[in-house]
A and B are shown apart, each in its own frame.
Chain A
Amino acid sequence: MAETTPPIVAVRNLSKSYRRGQQTVPVLQDISFDIAPGEFLALMGPSGSGKSTLLNLIAGIDKADSGTITIGGVEITTLPEAELAAWRAGNVGFIFQFYNLIPVLTAFENVELPLLLTGLTRRERRDHVETVLSLVGLADRMDHYPSQLSGGQQQRVAIARAMVTDPEILVADEPTGDLDRVSAGEILALMERLVHGFGKTIIMVTHDPRAAEQAHRLLHLEKGELTDGAG
């Protein structure tokens, strides 16, 4: 399915290094690849291979040293910070290993958060939030605080939050890393549904072979370089 349509993500000659004291540590070296719309991509590799950095770069929360990332025709590597923030708000949804929900806000309010940056009315926001929360199966837990939810439920709230602005791309950093088998299975099933039912593109960093199995394609990173292509 990737051959006919133009890629939604195009990564070209991407390089990035960190400074540790005096030393410069290369993290990503001259990486290029494409992601097709509706693809479920898993990034794998040992710790320190640069997979999280690559994810952050694609999500527009970190800056590359050289190379370009073009997403949906927008070259995000050249966008200034303020425009990048606005772009993120509309085009990317985030799912984190530790859910990163705001503990003082209810499930409903956490999901509502990204909508506060849009011009939607209260009524419209309410509709959107209720829709995504029932999509992830938590319509009955809207007024619970994160501390009153299980890990799997919290991750589902986080997915609802990522989905609520209807972005084309979802990025997930170890989404099942902190969950038990059953919960992890539910989360993966939910993600699968987002790809098939809603046409989302998901890029996921994972250690979990079961999670990787679910993906359409695997990218292996080793010492900042891609070791193989399709999966």
Chain B
Amino acid sequence: MTAPLLEIDRLDIGFGPLSAVRGASLQVRRGETHCLVGESGCGKSVTALAVMGLLARNATRNAVSMRFDGQELMGLDEKAMSRLRGDRMAMIFQEPMTSLNPAYTVGSQMAEVMLRHRGGTRRAALDRAAELLAKVRITSPGMRLGQYPHQLSGGLRQRVMIAMALMCSPELLIADEPTTALDVTVQAQILRLLADLQKDLGLAILLITHDLGVVARTAHHVSVMYAGQVVETAPVADLFANPMHPYTRGLLSCVPVPGKVRPGDPLGSIPGMVPRVEHAFAGCAFRQRCDLARPDCAGTIPRRDFAPGHDYLCQIEPAALVTA
């Protein structure tokens, strides 16, 4: 197997006394989509921002290592980082309505990215922009280039964002909830588009979402985050077939499955709420909400292997969990 394009090893992010991400590790390979799932505030988005070096000034970032195509990102200076951003790694955001600058036309915003990283003439950059707009299946791209963001619908804007992210042919695309703000039909179109682009361009995609439906449709690998930790990592089929961590199981039981859940049956829910995690926090963050919690859940939690590429963070052995 080839080396992963992005390799995060034990990333820690803190905001003052609070710990947002604790020892998160994950790997994204070329041509693959890695989904990062979890509820609001579990640290998905800050993980993505940490990769791009875009954390707010009051945040602290630490990691054993964070490599992009073999290059260590930790300790890389701002100048080198901004050369990578938008060129070899690109990011798209959740809100297509506000992600484009209202003061410029679509064309000039797209050309700007190209001119910044690759130089060349404005004409060439605009041609490239038109080509990419066609690639994200926007009709009459030449006309769209001259339009302002407020003249486009949400779905169109998200396509423009994706096209803009692809201007310099990045190797890694980080998508932070790219479809959350869109309605379901448009959402399906955008996800299909991302999958097709990935096939064409060999993109590595780190997709952040809280929607397990999106995960099932797009992911190759999944990491489930809870309270700043990656509690389970698995190939997507494995995760849905054999969820190990009690939190993953809880999440999956919240989703109605046609055929399995009868109409009228209550949906699953996870009792309690996410604890406030400070730096000194020890033990499993899920133990107050977990049916299987034991006294030793307050101690150090081991990472256990269930199958190749499938591991989880829990006190309970695989054999005991499978029967639970």
Partners in one complex: no
Chain A residues with CB under 8 Å of chain B are none
